[in-house]
Amino acid sequence: MADRYLSFTGTTPGRFLTRRLGLPQPTALHRWSAEHPSFTGELLHLSAGKSPLDGPDGLAAVLGRTGLAVRARSERPVAVVLDATGVTDIDTLAEVHAALHPVVRSVARSGRVIVLGAPLDTTDHHQAAVQQALEGFVRSLGKEIGRGITVTLLRLTEANAAESTLRFLLSPKSAYVSGQVIGIGGGAEVTAPADWALPLAGRTALVTGAARGIGEAVAATLARDGARVVCLDVPGAAVELDSVAGRLGGTALPLDITAPDAGARILAALPSGGLDVLVHNAGITRDRRLVNMAVERWSSVLDVNLASVLRTTDALLSAGGLATGGRIVATASIAGLAGNAGQTNYAASKAGVAGLVRALAPNAAAEHGVTVNAVAPGFIETKMTAAVPLFIREAGRRMNSLGQGGLPVDVAETTAWLAHPASGGVNGQVVRVCGQSLLGA
């Protein structure tokens, strides 16, 4: 499962040899650890156009709370935040080039470039054109910048609602999220936690498919953030499930999520306050090209990956099983966004998840105060991808802007950001955790 090439290129002979042979040289990413939970260094704050985010309680105040030293000039910034919310025409768009052209080379390895944009104004086609232009800009910069640096576009109208997102993007937790466009605003209530290090303290989270892989990492990360975790997986995985739940001080719920009464059984197993965070992570693949795909392969994948997500979400929402301020995070896949040969069933199910998220998000926020988002993992190093034939596996690993596969914890950190009480403004988003994979880019 280990990426031996990445380890090799991290050594002195490996660096020498791969440079001589002109081979890719991926940067070992800086991820969150208890010893190094945040970046240290300077954050370069730039702007293009006249920003509506200025003001005493505006962007500068939020950036000041990230722990980085905010500067208007920096020789070696660990992060650059370019406020382009005031870009409304071709002239102010040129300020984006003027601001970033001289500094991109100086950004530290594994650093961040974050461009802030405004929502597209459909009554002003000049503003819409140049704000849309920022997407092409950010996605291209993400592909060319290298050195493990990620590039993201965040659309917002108000800085405070973006604090949890800026803290996530400006931390090692977002190491494998790049080339993304994230919109903030119009969701549910934003609640700043009493302790930013334990944002889920006092909250209950249920994770499906928690016995191993990404689900196990999600449960562990939500527990790290203070949540009481309920770990659900098939009865056949009860031993692993018990061990995960035991290690995290949570409870195990052995249950096949496709059971028609799964929603009712989850409700019966919950503490009296119900759930604050529901993570639909359980998923399966049964790959075949459509011509060879028996109906069981189609129906089993659709049932686990989509129908059960619809059923349990409906059951929990209608019974009041999700508390106000709750969060639903579903799991899509880049295969669902881009399509993949041999995966008509899987991609249909995962595209369905994205549809569910987009349609349910505004209603769930309005009626229940609950946000609904999805993570869309790319190539993640798990047992599932370890089983992929070597050549395809190696291609999957390298064909992204960071030149390596992601880890389960990358999906888990993104889920934890979406589950955050201060992420109420993030709603209806499908966020790829794929190192900016070329698949469907």
Rule CB under 6 A: say whether 373 interacts with ligand NAI. Answer: no
Rule CB under 6 A: say whether 212 interacts with ligand NAI. Answer: yes
User: How far apart are CB 234 and ligand NAI at their closest, in Å?
Assistant: 5
CA-nearest of 43, 47, 44, 189 to 117 is 47
Rule CB under 6 A: say whether 225 interacts with ligand NAI. Answer: no
Taking the C-alpha atoms of residue 360 and residue 433, their distance in angstroms, rounded to an integer, is 22
- Nearest residue to ligand NAI, scored by beta-carbon proximity: 283
User: What is the x/- site pattern for ligand NAI, positions 288-327, by CB under 6 A?
Assistant: ----------------x-----------------------
Q: Which stretch binds ligand NAI (CB under 6 A): 41-49, 147-155, 176-184, 230-238?
A: 230-238
DSSP string, 74-92: -SS-SEEEEEEEE--SHHH
Taking the C-alpha atoms of residue 156 and residue 159, their distance in angstroms, rounded to an integer, is 7
Taking the C-alpha atoms of residue 226 and residue 203, their distance in angstroms, rounded to an integer, is 7
Rule CB under 6 A: say whether 208 interacts with ligand NAI. Answer: yes
CA-nearest of 239, 318, 230 to 279 is 230
Selected binder of ligand NAI within 20, 272, 383, 389 (CB under 6 A): 383
Residue 394 phi, psi dihedral angles, 5° rounding: -65, -40
Residue holding tokens 């509506």?
52
Evaluated on CA atoms 181, 309, 338, 212, the torsion sign reads positive
User: How far apart are CB 306 and ligand NAI at their closest, in Å?
Assistant: 10
Taking the C-alpha atoms of residue 325 and residue 423, their distance in angstroms, rounded to an integer, is 10
Rule CB under 6 A: say whether 427 interacts with ligand NAI. Answer: no
Measured from the CB atom, is 162 or 334 closer to ligand NAI?
A: 334
Which residues in the 352-371 window bind ligand NAI by CB under 6 A?
Answer: none
User: How far apart are CB 9 and ligand NAI at their closest, in Å?
Assistant: 22
Q: Which amino acid belongs to residue 25?
A: Q
Residues with a catalytic annotation lie at 346
Q: Residues in the site for ligand NAI, rule: CB under 6 A? A: 208-209, 211-215, 233-234, 237, 256-258, 281-284, 304, 331, 333, 377, 379-380, 382-385
